[in-house]
Amino acid sequence: MTPGPRKAESSGAPVRRPAAPAEAPSEAPPGTAPSDAPGAPPEDESLALWPGSTVPLPHADLAVGGVPLSELADRFGTPAYVLDEHEVRRRCRAYLRAFPDTEVLYAAKAFLCRAMAHWVREEGLGLDVCSAGELELAVTTGFPPERIVLHGNAKSPDDLAAALRLGVGRIVIDSTSEIARLAAAVPPGGRQKVLIRVVPGISAGGHAKIRTGTDDQKFGLSVADGSAQHAIARILGQPRLEPVGLHCHLGSQITTVKPYLSAVRRLIGLLARVHDQHGITLPELDLGGGHGIAYRPGEPALDIACLAAKVRAELARGCAAAGLPVPRLVIEPGRAIAGPAGVVLYRVLAVKQTGAHRFVAVDGGMSDNPRPALYGVRYAPRLVGRRSAAAPEAVTVVGRHCEAGDVLASDVRLPGDIRPGDLLAVPVAGAYHLSMASGYNLVGRPPVVAVVDGRARLLVRRESFADIQERDIGL
């Protein structure tokens, strides 16, 4: 069997429901075991990482959002990204329940499209963006700009101009050089609310390249060397800037609560110094995101309910000791909302034995998911749409690109008769895949398909060869 041509993509039409449609997913906090939710059968431990609506079907197929994955692959072609709308909404609601009286901002860098912006807005979340592109897409979708925060370590003039023109709620100051540039760009008579991104000197995160709370990386202003205090003093001298709080982001894929509690203590110390030196009380404290999730069975995930309870208690205790009012807490989850809601579908193109290694090559790879090449992350692919009686064997699932590092999953067990044309589905694929995708080897980026209540609709179409060629205008 060889892969056939990609199917034409359409949107909005219903697809056949499975015999036993998935229940609406429960609203257990992110970080709790998905298998405890009604949508994921607790008797099947292999589905613990999948969206809560996932149910097994005959012929070893799976349905997500009431839609069989094999039908999605036939209809939309592969590679294709599937996003469970109910799972996104469930995770948004769970954050709001775990963090009452907290401003929850969805981190758009994890994954953003018009539908995603619409869903998180409807669920009551704000938005955290890093560029004029993310900002413009959100606002043109109808997202209220006052509920948007813009940050980034090197904002361009276009980024700042768009933020001021559209009226974003807050801009995060990341360097002293940005203060004068932003103040000069604010129109006469205007006043822009700003947060100051500080570096608390805490090492946390799943990989060295995604740890941003230490003094040896590009983000923020150090507390230890006085840069943060100096920046605050300079901002106070700018009448067109209104400092409203501190911002920090420790890193990504953090799975323990302790680093956040350390950050709270250090930021309260800075709030107290600002109050003593300048006589002002900053009313907001943004702890960023970085909440870790499991990508393979047995991996840890951050307990969001525990995080919420301990952070709020530490904040209340620390502020009481410092004689400060408790600031409004802001958090920025991205991966923990989008990641577990996504599934990516690939077709097997080749199976090859090379020495002691058996390679299974699929029709996607590092152009649609660079995380394995960047951070050594590995996934748990699963054969769907064909029942196999063959014993599992250890294989390495690789992409189609001309890089030895284009590896999706090392030493995973798949049926020994895996062959070209088979369909592989990979869970936990909703965050930092397509948002970091590239045009490497001029392979077009895959589509994004939303599933909900037995229906599938196209959110983002596949990037075609015509799209690629239209950008190349010179000879």
Measured CA to CA in angstroms, residue 322 lies from 269, 279, 316, 326 at distances of 8, 14, 10, 10
Q: How many domains does the chain have?
A: 2
Q: Which of 23-27, 53-57, 126-130, 404-408 has the lowest mean pLDDT?
A: 23-27
Q: Is residue 63 predicted with pLDDT exceeding 50?
A: yes
The answer to whether 333 is a known ligand-binding residue is yes
- For the cut 60, the answer to whether the pLDDT of residue 133 exceeds it is yes
pLDDT recorded at residue 190: 93
Asked if residue 15 belongs to a domain, the reply is no
Residue tagged active-site, from 113, 248, 306, 402:
402
Q: According to the model, what pLDDT value does residue 39 have?
A: 35
Cβ 193 vs Cβ 168: under 8 Å: no
pTM, to two decimals: 0.89
My answer on whether 292 and 378 are in the same domain is no
Same domain, 334 and 427: no
The encoded tokens of residue 354 equal 């090379």
Contacts of 255-261 with C-beta under 8 Å, sequence gap 24+, read 255/206, 255/292, 255/300, 255/301, 255/302, 256/204, 256/302, 257/302, 257/303, 257/306, 257/307, 257/310, 257/311, 259/202, 259/203, 259/204, 259/213, 260/287, 260/307, 260/310, 260/311, 261/310, 261/311, 261/314
Q: Is residue 166 part of a domain?
A: yes
Is a pLDDT exceeding 60 seen at residue 109? yes
Does residue 5 sit within a domain? no
Query: CATH code at 445?
Result: 2.40.37.10
Establish if 150 belongs to a structural domain: yes
The type of residue at 447 is P
Domain boundary among 282, 306, 338: 338
Q: Tell me what pLDDT residue 459 has.
A: 98
- 25: in domain: no
Q: Tell me which residue range forms the domain holding 325.
A: 86-338
**Shared-domain flag, residues 179 and 60:** no
Annotated binding-site residue? 290: yes
- Cα–Cα distance, 85 to 94 (Å, whole number): 14
295 annotated to bind ligand: no
Question: Is 130 a residue of the active site?
Answer: no
Q: Is 403 annotated as a binding residue?
A: yes
Residues 328 and 364 in one domain: no
Q: Is 45 flagged in the annotation as binding?
A: no
In the predicted model, is pLDDT for residue 69 greater than 90?
yes
- Say which CATH number the domain at 303 has: 3.20.20.10
Residues 59 and 108 occupy one common structural domain? no
Q: Which of 294, 311, 338 is the last residue of a domain?
A: 338
Give pLDDT tens digits for 139-155.
Answer: 999 999 999 999 988 89
Q: Which helix (H) or strand (E) holds 199?
A: strand 192-199
Q: pLDDT > 70: what percent of the chain?
A: 87
Q: Which of 306, 338, 370 is the last residue of a domain?
A: 338
Residues 302 and 379 in one domain: no
The answer to whether residues 221 and 327 belong to one domain is yes
Mean per-residue pLDDT over the chain, rounded: 88
* 457 part of a folded domain: yes
Does 322 share its domain with 438? no
Are 408 and 334 contained in the same domain? Answer: no
